[in-house]
Protein backbone atom coordinates (compact mmCIF):
# COMPACT_ATOMS: atom_id res chain seq x y z
CA UNK A 1 0.00 0.00 0.00
CA UNK A 2 2.82 2.40 0.87
CA UNK A 3 4.53 1.57 -2.40
CA UNK A 4 1.39 2.12 -4.47
CA UNK A 5 0.89 5.42 -2.73
CA UNK A 6 4.52 6.51 -3.16
CA UNK A 7 4.59 5.70 -6.88
CA UNK A 8 1.26 7.45 -7.47
CA UNK A 9 2.46 10.57 -5.63
CA UNK A 10 5.69 10.63 -7.63
CA UNK A 11 3.79 10.39 -10.92
CA UNK A 12 1.38 13.09 -9.81
CA UNK A 13 4.12 15.48 -8.72
CA UNK A 14 6.56 14.90 -11.58
CA UNK A 15 4.52 14.11 -14.69
CA UNK A 16 1.63 16.28 -13.54
CA UNK A 17 3.89 18.74 -11.75
CA UNK A 18 5.84 19.64 -14.84
CA UNK A 19 2.63 20.68 -16.58
CA UNK A 20 1.97 23.09 -13.73
CA UNK A 21 5.58 24.20 -13.43
CA UNK A 22 6.41 25.16 -16.97
CA UNK A 23 7.50 21.83 -18.50
CA UNK A 24 10.63 21.94 -16.37
CA UNK A 25 11.54 18.32 -17.21
CA UNK A 26 10.54 16.95 -13.82
CA UNK A 27 8.87 13.97 -15.47
CA UNK A 28 11.94 12.67 -17.32
CA UNK A 29 13.21 9.16 -16.49
CA UNK A 30 16.50 10.53 -15.14
CA UNK A 31 14.52 12.37 -12.44
CA UNK A 32 11.64 9.94 -11.87
CA UNK A 33 13.88 6.84 -11.66
CA UNK A 34 16.09 7.95 -8.75
CA UNK A 35 13.08 9.46 -6.96
CA UNK A 36 11.21 6.14 -7.03
CA UNK A 37 14.43 4.39 -6.00
CA UNK A 38 14.77 6.71 -3.03
CA UNK A 39 11.19 6.16 -1.84
CA UNK A 40 11.30 2.38 -2.30
CA UNK A 41 14.67 2.06 -0.59
CA UNK A 42 16.91 1.25 -3.55
CA UNK A 43 18.40 4.47 -4.88
CA UNK A 44 21.26 2.87 -6.92
CA UNK A 45 18.82 0.72 -8.93
CA UNK A 46 16.53 3.68 -9.50
CA UNK A 47 19.46 5.78 -10.68
CA UNK A 48 20.85 3.17 -13.11
CA UNK A 49 17.49 2.25 -14.60
CA UNK A 50 16.48 5.91 -14.76
CA UNK A 51 19.65 6.70 -16.72
CA UNK A 52 19.10 3.79 -19.13
CA UNK A 53 15.48 4.74 -19.71
CA UNK A 54 16.50 8.36 -20.27
CA UNK A 55 18.77 7.13 -23.06
CA UNK A 56 15.94 5.13 -24.61
CA UNK A 57 13.34 7.87 -24.28
CA UNK A 58 15.78 10.64 -25.23
CA UNK A 59 14.16 11.14 -28.61
CA UNK A 60 10.70 11.38 -27.14
CA UNK A 61 9.54 14.83 -26.19
CA UNK A 62 6.09 16.14 -25.79
CA UNK A 63 5.84 19.04 -28.20
CA UNK A 64 2.40 20.45 -28.78
CA UNK A 65 0.76 17.31 -27.49
CA UNK A 66 2.34 15.15 -30.19
CA UNK A 67 4.54 12.38 -28.88
CA UNK A 68 5.21 8.68 -29.13
CA UNK A 69 5.21 7.68 -25.46
CA UNK A 70 4.91 9.13 -21.99
CA UNK A 71 8.24 8.36 -20.33
CA UNK A 72 7.33 9.47 -16.78
CA UNK A 73 4.70 6.86 -15.96
CA UNK A 74 6.75 4.22 -17.78
CA UNK A 75 9.86 4.97 -15.72
CA UNK A 76 8.01 5.14 -12.41
CA UNK A 77 6.33 1.75 -12.83
CA UNK A 78 9.26 0.03 -14.52
CA UNK A 79 11.66 1.07 -11.75
CA UNK A 80 9.19 0.14 -9.01
CA UNK A 81 8.55 -3.32 -10.50
CA UNK A 82 12.28 -3.89 -11.03
CA UNK A 83 13.04 -3.02 -7.41
CA UNK A 84 10.22 -5.26 -6.11
CA UNK A 85 11.39 -8.18 -8.22
CA UNK A 86 15.05 -7.52 -7.40
CA UNK A 87 15.73 -7.30 -11.09
CA UNK A 88 17.62 -4.75 -13.12
CA UNK A 89 17.18 -3.21 -16.51
CA UNK A 90 16.27 -6.64 -17.89
CA UNK A 91 13.05 -6.53 -15.88
CA UNK A 92 12.40 -2.83 -16.32
CA UNK A 93 12.90 -2.48 -20.04
CA UNK A 94 10.30 -4.93 -21.39
CA UNK A 95 7.79 -3.22 -19.08
CA UNK A 96 8.79 0.36 -19.76
CA UNK A 97 8.16 0.50 -23.50
CA UNK A 98 4.55 -0.78 -23.51
CA UNK A 99 3.81 1.21 -20.35
CA UNK A 100 5.09 4.35 -22.06
CA UNK A 101 2.83 3.82 -25.04
CA UNK A 102 -0.18 2.99 -22.88
CA UNK A 103 0.61 5.93 -20.61
CA UNK A 104 0.51 8.25 -23.60
CA UNK A 105 -2.80 6.81 -24.74
CA UNK A 106 -4.34 7.40 -21.34
CA UNK A 107 -2.85 10.88 -21.25
CA UNK A 108 -4.41 11.55 -24.68
CA UNK A 109 -7.71 10.18 -23.46
CA UNK A 110 -7.71 12.57 -20.49
CA UNK A 111 -6.54 15.46 -22.68
CA UNK A 112 -9.20 14.96 -25.34
CA UNK A 113 -12.15 13.55 -23.43
CA UNK A 114 -11.83 15.01 -19.91
CA UNK A 115 -10.13 18.40 -20.26
CA UNK A 116 -10.96 19.08 -23.92
CA UNK A 117 -14.69 19.72 -23.53
CA UNK A 118 -13.96 22.51 -21.02
CA UNK A 119 -12.48 24.75 -23.74
CA UNK A 120 -15.86 26.36 -24.33
CA UNK A 121 -16.53 26.69 -20.60
CA UNK A 122 -13.44 28.92 -20.47
CA UNK A 123 -14.94 31.11 -23.21
CA UNK A 124 -18.19 31.46 -21.32
CA UNK A 125 -16.35 32.43 -18.14
CA UNK A 126 -14.29 35.00 -20.05
CA UNK A 127 -17.40 36.50 -21.62
CA UNK A 128 -18.94 36.80 -18.15
CA UNK A 129 -15.78 38.45 -16.86
CA UNK A 130 -15.57 35.76 -14.20
CA UNK A 131 -11.85 35.81 -13.43
CA UNK A 132 -12.12 33.71 -10.29
CA UNK A 133 -13.97 31.07 -12.25
CA UNK A 134 -11.26 31.00 -14.91
CA UNK A 135 -8.51 30.62 -12.32
CA UNK A 136 -10.42 27.90 -10.48
CA UNK A 137 -11.05 25.95 -13.67
CA UNK A 138 -7.46 26.48 -14.84
CA UNK A 139 -6.06 24.82 -11.72
CA UNK A 140 -9.01 22.51 -11.12
CA UNK A 141 -8.57 20.83 -14.48
CA UNK A 142 -4.89 20.36 -13.78
CA UNK A 143 -5.69 18.64 -10.48
CA UNK A 144 -8.45 16.49 -11.93
CA UNK A 145 -6.44 15.37 -14.95
CA UNK A 146 -3.34 14.33 -13.05
CA UNK A 147 -5.26 12.84 -10.14
CA UNK A 148 -6.95 10.52 -12.64
CA UNK A 149 -3.61 9.83 -14.30
CA UNK A 150 -1.97 9.00 -10.96
CA UNK A 151 -4.65 6.39 -10.27
CA UNK A 152 -3.06 4.20 -12.95
CA UNK A 153 0.28 3.68 -11.19
CA UNK A 154 -1.59 3.36 -7.90
CA UNK A 155 -3.70 0.41 -9.05
CA UNK A 156 -0.92 -1.00 -11.19
CA UNK A 157 1.28 -1.25 -8.08
CA UNK A 158 -1.56 -2.85 -6.10
CA UNK A 159 -2.21 -5.59 -8.64
CA UNK A 160 1.37 -6.16 -9.73
CA UNK A 161 3.16 -6.20 -13.04
CA UNK A 162 1.68 -9.18 -14.90
CA UNK A 163 -1.90 -8.29 -13.99
CA UNK A 164 -1.23 -4.71 -15.10
CA UNK A 165 -0.16 -5.77 -18.53
CA UNK A 166 -3.16 -8.07 -18.89
CA UNK A 167 -5.60 -5.36 -17.80
CA UNK A 168 -4.17 -2.75 -20.13
CA UNK A 169 -4.70 -5.01 -23.11
CA UNK A 170 -8.43 -4.88 -22.45
CA UNK A 171 -8.86 -1.23 -23.52
CA UNK A 172 -10.45 -1.48 -26.97
CA UNK A 173 -7.89 -0.40 -29.53
CA UNK A 174 -10.56 1.23 -31.63
CA UNK A 175 -11.49 3.68 -28.87
CA UNK A 176 -7.88 4.61 -28.35
CA UNK A 177 -7.44 5.05 -32.08
CA UNK A 178 -10.59 7.15 -32.36
CA UNK A 179 -9.42 9.47 -29.61
CA UNK A 180 -6.02 9.80 -31.24
CA UNK A 181 -7.71 10.75 -34.50
CA UNK A 182 -9.89 13.25 -32.64
CA UNK A 183 -6.83 14.72 -30.94
CA UNK A 184 -5.26 15.27 -34.35
CA UNK A 185 -8.35 16.87 -35.84
CA UNK A 186 -9.35 19.11 -32.91
CA UNK A 187 -6.68 21.77 -33.57
CA UNK A 188 -8.89 22.63 -36.56
CA UNK A 189 -11.33 24.23 -34.11
CA UNK A 190 -8.53 26.35 -32.62
CA UNK A 191 -7.37 27.38 -36.07
CA UNK A 192 -10.93 28.32 -37.02
CA UNK A 193 -11.14 30.57 -33.98
CA UNK A 194 -7.90 32.31 -34.92
CA UNK A 195 -9.19 32.77 -38.44
CA UNK A 196 -12.32 34.37 -37.07
CA UNK A 197 -10.09 36.98 -35.43
CA UNK A 198 -7.74 37.59 -38.34
CA UNK A 199 -9.89 36.99 -41.39
CA UNK A 200 -10.39 39.83 -43.80
CA UNK A 201 -11.54 39.42 -47.40
CA UNK A 202 -8.64 41.43 -48.75
CA UNK A 203 -5.92 39.37 -47.13
CA UNK A 204 -7.57 35.94 -46.88
CA UNK A 205 -5.42 34.59 -49.73
CA UNK A 206 -2.45 34.58 -47.38
CA UNK A 207 -4.07 31.88 -45.29
CA UNK A 208 -4.04 29.61 -48.33
CA UNK A 209 -0.51 30.62 -49.20
CA UNK A 210 0.66 29.58 -45.72
CA UNK A 211 -1.14 26.27 -46.00
CA UNK A 212 0.13 25.58 -49.49
CA UNK A 213 3.81 26.18 -48.85
CA UNK A 214 3.82 23.90 -45.82
CA UNK A 215 1.72 21.14 -47.41
CA UNK A 216 3.73 21.00 -50.62
CA UNK A 217 7.20 22.25 -49.76
CA UNK A 218 7.39 21.18 -46.10
CA UNK A 219 8.82 24.55 -45.16
CA UNK A 220 9.46 25.00 -41.41
CA UNK A 221 7.16 27.44 -39.59
CA UNK A 222 10.01 29.85 -38.94
CA UNK A 223 10.63 30.21 -42.68
CA UNK A 224 6.93 30.75 -43.29
CA UNK A 225 7.04 33.52 -40.73
CA UNK A 226 10.01 35.22 -42.39
CA UNK A 227 8.27 34.99 -45.75
CA UNK A 228 5.13 36.42 -44.19
CA UNK A 229 7.13 39.30 -42.73
CA UNK A 230 8.68 40.07 -46.12
CA UNK A 231 5.29 40.12 -47.82
CA UNK A 232 3.85 42.19 -44.99
CA UNK A 233 6.66 44.75 -45.28
CA UNK A 234 6.09 45.12 -49.00
CA UNK A 235 2.39 45.66 -48.47
CA UNK A 236 2.94 47.99 -45.54
CA UNK A 237 5.30 50.08 -47.66
CA UNK A 238 2.69 50.43 -50.36
CA UNK A 239 -0.01 51.24 -47.80
CA UNK A 240 2.31 53.76 -46.22
CA UNK A 241 2.83 55.54 -49.49
CA UNK A 242 -0.91 55.68 -50.05
CA UNK A 243 -1.32 56.98 -46.52
CA UNK A 244 1.25 59.73 -47.20
CA UNK A 245 -0.39 60.72 -50.46
CA UNK A 246 -3.78 60.97 -48.84
CA UNK A 247 -2.48 62.88 -45.84
CA UNK A 248 -0.68 65.58 -47.80
CA UNK A 249 -2.15 67.95 -50.31
CA UNK A 250 -1.79 66.87 -53.91
CA UNK A 251 0.74 69.66 -54.45
CA UNK A 252 3.43 67.83 -52.44
CA UNK A 253 5.91 66.08 -54.66
CA UNK A 254 6.36 62.32 -54.67
CA UNK A 255 10.12 62.60 -54.11
CA UNK A 256 9.64 64.01 -50.61
CA UNK A 257 7.66 61.03 -49.43
CA UNK A 258 10.13 58.38 -50.37
CA UNK A 259 12.94 60.16 -48.52
CA UNK A 260 10.89 60.86 -45.44
CA UNK A 261 9.37 57.45 -45.16
CA UNK A 262 12.63 55.56 -44.63
CA UNK A 263 12.82 55.81 -40.87
CA UNK A 264 9.14 55.19 -40.42
CA UNK A 265 9.26 52.10 -42.51
CA UNK A 266 11.85 50.67 -40.20
CA UNK A 267 9.28 50.77 -37.46
CA UNK A 268 7.00 48.74 -39.65
CA UNK A 269 9.71 46.20 -40.23
CA UNK A 270 9.85 45.24 -36.60
CA UNK A 271 6.25 44.24 -36.34
CA UNK A 272 5.66 43.58 -40.00
Partner 1 sequence: MSKITAKLSAEEKKMLRQTYWRSFTLYSAVTPAKQGASGFEYSMMPWINHFYKNAADKKDALVRHMAYFNTNLAMSPFIMGVTASMEKQNSEKADFNAESINAIKTSLMGPLAGIGDSIFWGVLRVIAGGIAISLAKSGNFLAPIIFLLIFNIPVQLVRWYGGQLGYTLGSSYISDLYEKGLINIMTKAASIVGLMMVGAMTSSMVKLSVKWNMVMGGKTILKTQDMLNQIFIGILPLGITLLCFWLLRKKNVSINWLILGTLVIAILLALVGIV
What is the C-alpha separation between 51 and 53, in angstroms, rounded? 5
The correct pick among 84, 151, 233, 257 for binding partner 1 (CB under 8 A) is 233
Q: Which of residues 18-57 bind partner 1 (CB under 8 A)?
A: 19-26, 28, 30-31, 33-35, 43-44, 47-48, 50-51, 54-55
With binding defined as CB under 8 A, does residue 85 bind partner 1? no
Q: Specify the stretch interacting with partner 1 by CB under 8 A; choose among 3-11, 76-84, 116-124, 149-157.
A: 116-124
Residue 186 near residue 116 (C-beta atoms within 8 A)? yes
Asked whether position 252 contacts partner 1 by CB under 8 A, the answer is no
Nearer to partner 1, 2 or 44 (CB): 44
Neighbouring C-beta atoms of residue 85, cutoff 10 Å: 14
What string of H, E and C letters represents the secondary structure of 220-234? Answer: CHHHHHHHHHHHHHH
CA distance 25 to 245: 55
Q: Between 1 and 66, whose beta carbon lies closer to partner 1?
A: 66
Measure CA of the first residue to CA of the last residue in the chain; give whole Å: 59
Q: What binding mask, one character per residue, do residues 188-227 give for partner 1 by CB under 8 A, x or -?
A: xxxxxxxxxxxxx--xx-xxxxxxxxxxx--xxxx-xxxx
Complex with partner 1: residue 33 or 100, whichever CB lies closer = 33
Among 163, 167, 182, 245, which residue sits at the site for partner 1 (rule: CB under 8 A)?
182
Report DSSP state, residue 28.
S
Establish if 228 lies at the interface with partner 1 (CB under 8 A).
Answer: yes
Q: How far apart are CA 272 and CA 270, in angstroms?
A: 6
Give the nearest distance from C-beta 73 to partner 1 in angstroms. Answer: 17
**Angle between the N-to-C axes of helices 161-168 and 71-84, in degrees from 0 to 180, rounded to the nearest 10:** 150
Among 68, 113, 163, 252, binds partner 1 (CB under 8 A): 113
Angstrom distance (rounded) from CA 107 to CA 50: 21
Q: How far is the CB of 1 from partner 1 (least distance, A)?
A: 26
- Distance (Å, whole) CA 95 – CA 74: 8
Give the burial class of 249: count Cβ atoms within 10 A of its Cβ; 0-12 exposed, 13-18 middle, 19 or more buried. Answer: exposed
- The minimum distance between CB 108 and partner 1, in angstroms, equals 9
Binding of partner 1 at residue 259 (CB under 8 A)?
no
Q: Does 179 bind partner 1 (CB under 8 A)?
A: yes
| Helix, strand, or coil (residue 66) | strand
Stretch 65-84 residues interacting with partner 1 (CB under 8 A)? 65
Candidate list 68, 126, 159, 166; residue touching partner 1; CB under 8 A: 126
Q: Using an 8 Å Cβ cutoff, are 88 and 48 in contact?
A: yes
CB-nearer residue toward partner 1: 169 or 177: 177
Judged by CB under 8 A, the stretch of 98-106, 108-116, 160-168, 252-260 that binds partner 1 is 108-116
3-state SS assignment for residue 58: coil
Total of residues contacting partner 1 (CB under 8 A): 115
Binding flag, residue 181, partner 1 (CB under 8 A): yes
Amino acid sequence: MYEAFAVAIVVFLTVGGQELLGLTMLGRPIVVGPLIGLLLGDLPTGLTIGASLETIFMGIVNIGGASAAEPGLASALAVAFAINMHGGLGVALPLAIPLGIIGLQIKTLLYVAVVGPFASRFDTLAAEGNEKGIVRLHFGLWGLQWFLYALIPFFAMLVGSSATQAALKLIPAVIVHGLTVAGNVLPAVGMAMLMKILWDKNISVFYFLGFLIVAYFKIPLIAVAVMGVIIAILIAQRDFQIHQLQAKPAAASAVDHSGESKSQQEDDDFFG
